[in-house]
Amino acid sequence: MQQPIETEAIVIATRDFAESDRLITLFTPEHGKIETIAKGAKKSLHRFVNALEPFSFLDASLVMPRATGFTRLDSVKIKMSFEALRQDFLSFTAANLCCELIHRWTKEMDPHIDIFRNLLYYLNCLSQKQDIYKLTLFFKLRLLALVGYAPELQFCVKCGNKPTGNSVTIEQHGKGVLCSSCAEKEDSAQQIQMGTLYCLRHLSIRSAKEVMRLKPSPQQLAEGWNTAKKLHCLHLKTIPNSYAVLETMINVSTNL
């Protein structure tokens, strides 16, 4: 019999499969993303003691397939359930977006320990009801950097000069900012306020503790959000499904 692999894992997606099983996508520190099958999970909630909810942080025991097929989820133990995130629809949708982004950005069995740590940190902060909008933007910018697509926010990506003025242009392929003279030669580029650029820089490079002290204006947050969204969508070549739900929530919510 095959020896199970013991690993920490966060549930980033779940769906029903066949009559009684569920497919659980886990994100693990040493193996990256793993699609697993939880046999009997749909019929018997006791089999996995309700541990297979979205965002659950687990100790999991996995049995890899001999040749092809799914990795089997043998047993799990909850380390942190992050129940609070599933009780608040806005937190749930924000966490769902971040899990979907990780799902889309990563391949199976491709380890990214920093992404795992980043997700765990984000879920922890989110469950303490910290500023959801800012926190999620922070997560999205860090994720871009961790997958190798951090935009250049300091110097013009065409000529290397430092952009000046009240606003700055984002280069159309998402590489970073353009100075005003290089921006004149671009057709379809997005402009943001200089204050938003400072905010994005701050969120990208400062420590999490410093970031939590940052108080961006609603306009800076909105522009920063749209910029980070555009960069993710541009590089992923798709719009993650969770955006539509989350943005409806943001529009109707006044306490962000």
156 binds Zn ion (CB under 5 A): yes
User: Least distance in Å: CB of 182 to Zn ion?
Assistant: 3
CB of 161 to Zn ion, least distance (A): 5
Q: How far is the CB of 163 from Zn ion (least distance, A)?
A: 7
13-17: long-range pairs with CB below 8 Å, 24+: 13/54, 13/99, 13/100, 13/103, 14/52, 14/53, 14/54, 16/42, 17/42
72/158 with CB nearer Zn ion: 158
Contact assessment for residue 227 and residue 235, using Cβ atoms and an 8 Å cutoff: no
Q: Which is nearer to Zn ion, 42 or 158 (CB)?
A: 158
CB of 166 to Zn ion, least distance (A): 17
194 near Zn ion, rule: CB under 5 A: no
Please report whether residue 179 would count as binding Zn ion according to CB under 5 A. yes
Subset of residues 49 to 78 that bind Zn ion, contact rule: CB under 5 A: none
Q: How far is the CB of 162 from Zn ion (least distance, A)?
A: 9
Where does this chain touch Zn ion (CB under 5 A) — which range of 16-24, 120-128, 182-190, 201-209?
182-190
In sequence order, the 6+-apart residues with CB closer than 8 A to the CB of 121 are: 208
Using CB under 5 A, which of the segments 25-33, 111-119, 158-166, 169-177 binds Zn ion?
158-166
State yes or no: residue 175 binds Zn ion (CB under 5 A).
no
Q: Any contact of residue 168 with Zn ion (CB under 5 A)?
A: no
Q: How far apart are CA 150 and CA 138, in angstroms?
A: 12
Q: Is 183 in the site for Zn ion (CB under 5 A)?
A: no
Please tell me whether residue 158 binds Zn ion under the rule CB under 5 A. yes
Type and span of the H or E element at 16: strand 5-17
**And the tokens for 96?**
């769902």
62 Cβ partners below 8 Å, 6+ apart?
A: 4, 5, 7, 26, 34, 36, 71, 72, 73, 74
The total of other beta-carbon atoms located within 10 Å of residue 57's CB is 18
Structure tokens at 134: 């800012």
Q: Give least dist CB 155 to Zn ion, A.
A: 8
Residues 6+ apart with CB under 8 A from 68: none
Q: Is 182 in the site for Zn ion (CB under 5 A)?
A: yes
Question: Measured from the CB atom, is 10 or 183 closer to Zn ion?
Answer: 183
250 binds Zn ion (CB under 5 A): no
What is the CB neighbour count within 10 angstroms for residue 247?
15
Phi, psi dihedral angles at 13 (to 5 degrees): -160, 150
Number of residues this chain uses to bind Zn ion (CB under 5 A) = 5
Shortest Cβ 219–Zn ion spacing (Å): 25
List residues binding Zn ion (CB under 5 A).
156, 158-159, 179, 182
